[in-house]
Amino acid sequence: MKSLLKLNKYLLKYKKPLFYGFLFVILNNLFLILTPKYIGEAIDILKSSVDSKMVFRYVLLAVGSAFVSGFFMLLVRRSIIITSRKIEFDIKNDFYAHLQSLSLTFFKHRSTGDLMARASNDLSAVRNYFGPAIMYSINTLFRLIFIFSAMVVISPSLSFFALLPAPFLSYSVYKVGQMVHAQTKILQQYYGILTTRVQENLSGIRLVKSYTREAYEQERFSETNNSYYKQNLKLARLQGLFYAATTGLLGLSIIILLWAGGFKVINAEITLGQIAQFLIYIGMLSWPLVSIGWITNMVQRAAAANKRLIEIFETKPEIIDSPEVDHAIKTLEGDIAFENVSFSYPKNPSQLILKNISFRIEKGMKLAIVGATGSGKSTLVNLIPRLLDATQGTITIDGVSLKQIPLQTLRKAIGFVPQDYFLFSDTIRENIGFGLPNYSKNDVEQAAKQAMIYEDILGFPNQFESMLGERGITLSGGQKQRTSIARALIRKPKILILDDSLSAVDTKTENSFLNNLDDFANQMTVILISHRISSVKNFDKILVLADGCIAEQGTHDELLASNSLYAELYQKQLLEDELTAME
């Protein structure tokens, strides 16, 4: 329950409709207990004398009180259940907004399937707590109070006998509730695993089919699904045990009531109508008593689910605007400098990915970064938009430390095409214009031309309105990359970062794009990561990374003249190109 207390802020936000719901519950139960009273009085009248007018009067009173009780129950549902949907809406918005604020490293250590399970299944369980669980809890509480009060008024001793099974019921609620909570927590974990399995399989369906692994993946899913099924069965057994025990204890109350009440009727201590009234009250208690198990299950599931949500909510974004940020900075020019910059991941601070990186590129220059796989190229460019933060050293843009620049200003000035480019299941036009709140048709077409994808798009049946499949599956690798580049270019950024984003493009198209850079990017600072030495030879400066350090830096001619690592890479690629041409 401690985890559920953290949700009180949502209850307070809707305290007015919840208060009315609380009031309607009281009125509902107040009129509900009147119905058995009128029925009992009608039975006693029939016993003494047959008066059809009096019987009809009590029937009308019973029906009227039942109708009014039902009307207030309708108002209860309209106030509490609708409020629970509003709270669910708020929590979903808060959860999604919080996910958007978290840093890149968070998503590297979390599976998409697990986050989806929390955003759907866990949130649904929490919604049930705000709606049915609260409504039926309040309703059960007041029904018990009103009915027990009415029973005590009739006969305190008979009420005592009817309540004899209550301690056993309380103990069973406590014990089963503990077991349900533990089992629910396990079940939620299995659901996350199952969701992750489905998400990964559908995202990688092309690979699955290419390797004819459909049967294998079906078997893996079946095994995971079977584990989830078994955990669900365990929970169902616990619930079934509780419902059976509750119903049995209720039946025991009726037997005790008939036995003790029968003697009281014989001894003229109470009337037959009052016994009937007692039996109706016990019947009315059947659903509240049985619902205790259902409510317990919902509350325990909500508590376990909310713990998983709290785990995400309490995760703080690692990269935020620092206290020294200067909000007066609205634009950037693109003069970038690294001074003794090192980087390591927080979970492994002793292993430096980058070591003492220092260089500078002036506004409008073109910088190329080359090096072997794992040398730290992508990590380096991720530091510029602060997708990662340097562990040591200083990075400045226009002479201002990155931590003094507002994140919004910094990232709006950068057009970033990462290695793992991503396209949405939307039109090509929407994918290209994704980075801007407003854009024109001309803006989209101009960016497509600059990215060398315009002619390809015109060849599609619906051209710019063509719908892309998940992750752009309907496009080739090169088309995806160039669409992603167009998305960056439409922003007209001051800094353009291309992280190996031409790897799937043919050499001719790549050379055409790079040669045209000067025409449309003369005011941009361009940073290109490439494995093709031939593609970067005309850049203003080239950094050669090796083991997280800058092994060399200079122009293409300067690096060739040094006859070191860059020259060696260049010669190897020339040889590979010759061998490919011979084939």
DSSP string, 394-454: EEEETTEEGGGS-HHHHHHTEEEE-SS----SSBHHHHHGGG-SS--HHHHHHHHHHTT-H
Which structure tokens are listed for 367?
């910088």
Which structure tokens are listed for 452?
């060398």
Mean pLDDT of 390-403: 89
Answer for the pair 16, 130: CB distance below 8 angstroms, yes or no: no
- Give the residue with greater pLDDT, 315 vs 111: 315
Asked if the model's pLDDT at residue 177 lies above 70, the reply is no
List, in sequence order, every beta strand (DSSP E) within 477-577: 495-499, 525-529, 541-546, 549-554
Which structure tokens are listed for 403?
């931590």
Exposed (0-12), middle (13-18) or buried (19+): which is 293, by Cβ within 10 Å?
buried
Q: Give the pLDDT confidence of 178-204 residue by residue, as tens digits.
A: 777 677 778 777 877 787 777 667 666
Asked if the model's pLDDT at residue 405 lies above 80, the reply is yes
Phi/psi zone of residue 532: left (φ > 0), alpha (ψ -120 to 50 degrees), beta?
A: beta
- Mean pLDDT taken over the chain: 80
pLDDT at 339: 92
Band of pLDDT at residue 531, cut at 50, 70 and 90: confident
pLDDT at 581: 53
**Predicted TM-score (pTM) of this structure:** 0.68
CA distances in angstroms from 167 to 136, 291, 358, listed in the order given: 21, 17, 74
pLDDT at 47: 67
Q: Give the pLDDT confidence of 12-37 residue by residue, as tens digits.
A: 888 888 888 888 888 888 888 888 88
Answer for the pair 455, 448: CB distance below 8 angstroms, yes or no: no
Cα 17 from Cα 14, distance rounded (Å): 6
Kindly list the structural domains of the chain, giving each domain's residue range(s) and its CATH number in brackets, ordered by start. 2-313 (1.20.1560.10), 364-393+402-582 (3.40.50.300)
Parallel/antiparallel/unpaired status of strands 366-371 and 541-546: parallel
Closest CA to 125 of 313, 306, 312, 311: 306
The tokens 């709006």 sit on which residue?
412
Closest CA to 201 of 188, 187, 218, 189: 218
- At 433, the amino acid letter reads G
Parallel/antiparallel/unpaired status of strands 400-401 and 392-397: antiparallel
Q: For 301, what's the count of Cα atoms within 13 Å in the CB-facing half-sphere?
A: 26
Which structure tokens are listed for 36?
């058995």
Mean pLDDT of 166-187: 71
Answer for the pair 26, 53: CB distance below 8 angstroms, yes or no: no
Answer for the pair 304, 180: CB distance below 8 angstroms, yes or no: no
Mean pLDDT of 353-365: 89
Cα 197 from Cα 112, distance rounded (Å): 10
Cα 44 from Cα 62, distance rounded (Å): 15
In 3-state terms the chain splits into helix, strand, coil percentages (rounded to 5) of 65, 10, 25
Which structure tokens are listed for 315?
């995760």
Cα 141 from Cα 164, distance rounded (Å): 18
Cα 260 from Cα 73, distance rounded (Å): 34
DSSP string, 478-497: HHHHHHHHHHHHTT--SEEE
Helix (H) / strand (E) element for 326: namely none
C-alpha triplet 482, 420, 95: angle, nearest 5°: 120
pLDDT at 102: 81
- Sheet order of strands, 400-401 included: 354-361, 336-343, 392-397, 400-401
CA distances in angstroms from 490 to 136, 420, 444, 494, listed in the order given: 55, 19, 7, 12
Q: Give the pLDDT confidence of 502-527 residue by residue, as tens digits.
A: 777 777 777 777 777 777 777 788 88
Cα 433 from Cα 447, distance rounded (Å): 9
b/e map of 330-344 (b: 16 or more CB within 10 Å)?
A: eebbbbbbbeebbbb
Classify the C-alpha dihedral 210-216-219-220 as positive or negative. Answer: negative
Which structure tokens are listed for 514?
């790079």
Band of pLDDT at residue 49, cut at 50, 70 and 90: low
Alpha carbon of residue 189 to chain centroid: 14
Cα 411 from Cα 419, distance rounded (Å): 17
Mean pLDDT of 337-348: 86
Cα 513 from Cα 520, distance rounded (Å): 10
> Strand, coil or helix: what is 238?
helix
C-alpha triplet 373, 208, 194: angle, nearest 5°: 100
Q: Give the pLDDT confidence of 284-324 residue by residue, as tens digits.
A: 776 676 667 667 777 777 787 888 888 888 888 888 888 88
CA distances in angstroms from 562 to 21, 302, 549, 552, listed in the order given: 81, 66, 17, 9
CA distances in angstroms from 301 to 114, 240, 533, 565, listed in the order given: 17, 16, 58, 60
Contacts of 285 (CB under 8 A, 6+ apart): 143, 144, 147, 250, 253
